[in-house]
Amino acid sequence: MTDTIAHLDRSDLDDLLSHDAVNDPVTYYDNVRAVDPVYWNKRWNGWILTGYPEVVAAYRDHARLSSDRFAGPFGEDLSAASSQYQNLFGFLSKFFVWKDQPYHARVRSLVNKAFTPRSVEVIRPQVAELIQSLVKPMIGAGEVDFIAQFAFTLPVIVIAEYLGVPEDGRERMRRWAEDLGAVIFVSGHDEDRMAKGEAAMTELVEFLRPIVRDKRTNPRSDLLTGMVRAEERGDFLSEDEVIANAVLMVFAGHETTMNLLANSMVAFSRFPQEWQRLREDPSLAASATEEALRYDGPIRAMARWAKEPLEIGGHQIAQGDRMLLVQYAANHDPAGFADPEKFDITRSPNRQLTFGQGIHTCLGAPLARLEAQEAFKALTAEFARFDITETTLSYVPTVVSRSLRQLHITFHTS
Q: d(Cα 1, Cα 14) in Å, to the nearest integer?
A: 18
CA distances from 204 to 66, 199, 210, 239 (A): 28, 9, 11, 14
pLDDT at position 232:
64
The pLDDT of residue 297 is 97
Average of per-residue pLDDT across 23-50: 97
Q: pLDDT band at 6, cuts 50/70/90?
A: very low
Residue 93 reports pLDDT greater than 90? no
> Per-residue confidence at 8, pLDDT binned at 50, 70, 90?
low
Most confident range, picked from 63-72, 75-84, 189-198, 337-346: 337-346
In the prediction, which pLDDT does 3 show?
A: 41
- What is the pLDDT at residue 1? 37
Q: Per-residue pLDDT tens for 172-214?
A: 887 888 888 778 776 555 668 889 999 999 999 999 999 999 9
- Judge whether residue 121 has pLDDT over 70: yes
> What residue numbers bound the domain in which 89 lies?
3-412
Does residue 97 surpass a pLDDT of 60?
Answer: yes
**Range with the poorest average pLDDT among 158-162, 340-344, 348-352:** 158-162
Q: Which amino acid is at 126?
A: Q
State residue 183's pLDDT score. Answer: 82
Which of 241, 213, 212, 230 has its CA nearest to residue 96? Answer: 241
Q: pLDDT tens for residues 227-285?
A: 888 866 677 888 999 999 888 888 777 889 999 999 999 999 999 999 999 999 999 99
Question: Which comes out higher in pLDDT, residue 177 or 50?
Answer: 50
DSSP string, 253-312: HHHHHHHHHHHHHHHHHH-HHHHHHHHH-GGGHHHHHHHHHHHH-SB--EEEEESS-EEE
Distance CA 323, CA 8 (A): 23
> Would the pLDDT of 4 be above 60?
no
- Are the beta carbons of 164 and 250 closer than 8 angstroms? no
CA distance 389 to 404: 13
CATH code: domain of residue 116: 1.10.630.10
Average pLDDT over residues 116-123: 82
351: exposed, middle or buried (Cβ count in 10 Å: 0-12, 13-18, 19+): middle
Angle between helices 193-217 and 239-270 (to 10 degrees): 120
CA 369 vs CA 97, 123, 376: distances in Å: 19, 13, 11
Rounded distance between C-alpha atoms, residue 137 and residue 266, angstroms: 21
CA distance 310 to 301: 20
Distance, first Cα to last Cα, the chain: 48
Q: Residue 46: what are its φ and ψ, rounded to 5°?
A: -170, 180
DSSP class of residue 318 equals P
Residue 168 neighbours by CB under 8 Å, 6+ apart:
none
Number of domains, the chain: 1
Average confidence (pLDDT) over 312-338 = 97
Contact 323, 58 (CB under 8 A): yes
- pLDDT above 50: residue 7: no
Cis peptide before 166 (omega within 30 of 0): no
Lowest mean pLDDT among 167-181, 361-375, 392-406: 167-181
Arithmetic mean of pLDDT over the chain? 90
What is the share, in percent, of the chain residues with pLDDT greater than 90?
Answer: 63
The pLDDT-based confidence of 377 (bands split at 50, 70, 90) is very high
Q: What is the pLDDT of residue 248?
A: 85
Question: What are the b/e assignments for 393-403, b being 16+ CB within 10 Å?
Answer: eebbbbbbbbb
d(CA 291, CA 331) in angstroms, rounded, equals 10
Question: How many residues are listed for the chain in this entry?
Answer: 414
